[in-house]
Amino acid sequence: MIMSEHHMGDHISQEGTDQQKKSAYTSSVYTIPDWLMASEIYEPQTERDTFVNKSILSVFSLLSKIKAQETNQALWYDINTPVNIAGTFLLLLLVALSKSFVFVLIIGVYLLAVLSTFDAPRLVRILKMSMGTTLFSAVIMLPAFLTGNSYSSIMIPCKVLISITIMGLLSQSAKWNSITGALKKFYIPDIFILILDIAIKYMYMLGELSLCLFQALKLRSVGKNKSKYSSLAGITGTVFLQSKEMAEDMYHAMECRGFSGEYHIIHKQRIRWKDIIFMVVNAGFIVLFFYFRSYQ
Amino acid sequence: MHIPDNYLSPATCAVMGGAMVPVWTRAVRKVKAELSKVKIPMLGVGAAFSFLLMMFNIPLPGGTTGHAVGGTLLAILLGPYGACISITVALFLQALLFGDGGILSFGANCFNMAFVLPFAGYYIYRMIKNSIKSEKGEFIGMAFGSYVGINLAALCTAIEFGIQPLLFKDAAGQALYCPYPLSVSIPAMVLPHLLVAGIAEAVFTIAIILFIKRVSPGSFYEGKKEKNKSIYGLIIMLVCLTPLGILAAGTAWGEWGAEEISGLLSADGMTGFTPVGMQNGFSFNAVIPDYAVSGLPEPAGYVLSAIAGTAILIIFFKILGSLKKEKE
């Protein structure tokens, strides 16, 4: 009996809840909550993302430059790197010191001839670099040209063009790691080589890291994100902490493998015929420099 | 054959430039459609050939000089449209950097050397090659095509010079621009080309095509053996030989400066007269005028100009080739 009563009560209570539900259901048919009714048109405010996009692009261009060093096809102009560096500095010095337009012209024609043998991607890279700076210096020299100082206002942009092209030739023909190796030949202290070497290697890894961070920031900010600039501090901070950690790890790893802070050159580049020709050409430039010293 | 500024009236220059616009448009379209990305740098090599050939001045009877153009050569190697573009760029460089040929008369120079010459030469070559089907026929075609081509170009130049005194005179009846009428200009231009420059053009054309066909047919014809080193070798050799071009003293007919022409005219019995249009005409200072660098011996200046011109042309077309998108 008790059980049945219990059942009964159970039944009644169930019925009661059913009725409650029904009434709630019927009332809710007619009143949909407001928040569901409101038409949801969210148009994120357009933002041009200039700063993030620009940062991503500049990081990308740096990375591609470093990557390009590895994938560049072989070039006939692969002069022995120490010789190449010495020649480059000699030429830069001569061009800077020369007052003779003819000498500058001869160097310019020599560079044109060398450039014409380069492949198109390298050519474009070198010329972009040198043309941009030359244009800039030409604009700066414009007032001097207008006030009648035509000599230096023509000479200086020419020298800028030639100097940047000379540097471009070096950077496009010698790999960065071979340049740091060549510095050893010039008695540069080991600590500088170490720093330069690690800097170049880590520029790539940290560049990739910051690229990831930038892309994450771009994905997460929908519409106008006013606190984006404050994220910049976060990105730089993270990259800095990461770099510190990585540098310590690497230094320990190097020490474990017996690195005592001294650099030794293992692979010696041999002097070949083209290196000798390169040296002769540069010696010729020295002669020409003194020959044309009397001309203006 | 390079007409300097102020020899033609501005009106003539405008007409000739206008005539070149459709030719250039069609040439660019044709080259874009037909030439693959890899072959575009060859246009630069072609332009360099033409540039160098024009530096070899040959002494002509009458104390003037002439030169080959290589128009038919380029038309056979690159097709007439490719040749048109190559020679146009070479002429532009000559006018701008070396003061060879005028800026205003650029259109007229292009009409003669970049349009009439390669197209006439190429179609004559094709006609003869198709009618005599043997290797001999091909050579006869090359020789005849290049010979006729350069002479037609010289004839056009002479006509452009010759109509100036007919059309443009001042109140006193004196010529404003080129003072020589057709009866003088045609024999003066065409005879030396018939006798000497035309033969030089034919010899250069055959010699260079023979060389390329033997050594590196792939450089210009798709899918054949390619050895660009030897082509560059040939260019370097031509550069080294350019000082030979100075051996021929004297200015080419119709390329005199304002003082030179005054002297010439007084020798012809027209003393103290310089055409007005020439005296106060448009003047443009080139970077290396007449391929001579002040302070350098003449041969050195010539070689320097040759290297610079060749290198600029090759670099220009290399960059152009890298800009072209490959067709799918």
What integer pLDDT is reported at residue B110 of this predicted model?
92
A295 touches B at CB < 8 Å = yes
User: How many domains does the structure of chain A reveal?
Assistant: 1
Q: Is residue A2 in a domain?
A: no
A160 touches B at CB < 8 Å = no
* Model confidence pLDDT, tens digit, residues A182-203: 888 888 888 888 888 777 777 7
* Model confidence pLDDT, tens digit, residues A48-104: 667 777 877 787 777 777 766 666 666 777 788 888 899 999 999 999 988 888 888
What integer pLDDT is reported at residue B291 of this predicted model?
76
Q: For residue A229, count other CB atoms closer than 10 A to its CB.
A: 9
CA distance A213 to A234: 9
Domain holding A118, by residue range, is: 58-294
Q: Is residue A98 in a domain?
A: yes
Angle at B246 between CA B244 and CA B250, to 5 degrees: 140
CA distance B102 to B4: 4
B296 touches A at CB < 8 Å = yes
Angle at B24 between CA B20 and CA B27, to 5 degrees: 140
The tally of CA atoms less than 13 A away on the side-chain side of residue A159 is 19
CA distance A242 to A113: 46
Q: Is residue A18 in a domain?
A: no
A105 touches B at CB < 8 Å = yes
User: With pLDDT > 70 as the criterion, what percentage of chain B qualifies?
Assistant: 82
Average pLDDT over residues A13-39: 64
Torsion, Cα B121 B28 B91 B49, to 10 degrees, reads -60
* Model confidence pLDDT, tens digit, residues A263-285: 777 666 678 888 899 999 999 99
Mean pLDDT, rounded, of chain B: 81
Q: Which residues pair with B175 in a beta bridge?
A: B169
Nearest to B295 among A115, A121, A292 (CB): A292
- Top pLDDT among B291 and B73 is at B73
* Contact assignment for A102 to B294 by CB distance below 8 Å: yes
* Contact assignment for A116 to B296 by CB distance below 8 Å: no
- Cβ-based neighbours of A91, under 8 Å, separated by 6 or more: A107, A166, A282, A285
Model confidence at A6, in pLDDT bands (50, 70, 90)?
very low
Domains of chain B: 10-323 (1.10.1760.20)
What integer pLDDT is reported at residue B221 of this predicted model?
65
Residue B87 pLDDT > 90? yes
Average pLDDT over residues A227-256: 83
Average pLDDT over residues B182-190: 83
For the whole model, what pTM was predicted?
0.76
Nearest to A109 among B295, B307, B322 (CB): B307
* Model confidence pLDDT, tens digit, residues B213-223: 888 776 666 65
User: With pLDDT > 90 as the criterion, what percentage of chain A qualifies?
Assistant: 11
* Residue of A99, A101, A109, A126 to mutate for B, most B C-beta atoms under 10 A: A109
* Contact assignment for B311 to A115 by CB distance below 8 Å: yes
Q: Is residue A131 in a domain?
A: yes
Q: Is residue A13 in a domain?
A: no
Q: Is residue A279 in a domain?
A: yes
Tell me the CA distances in angstroms from B311 to B27, B49, B192, B243, one per residue in order.
23, 11, 31, 18
Residue A296 pLDDT > 70? no
φ, ψ at B169 (rounded to 5°): -130, 155
Q: Per the structure block, which two tokens stand in for B22?
A: 């459709």
* Model confidence pLDDT, tens digit, residues A116-142: 888 888 888 888 888 888 899 888 888
Name every chain B residue with its beta carbon within 8 A of the beta carbon of A131.
none
* Three-class secondary structure of residue B67 per DSSP: strand
- Top pLDDT among A177 and B314 is at B314
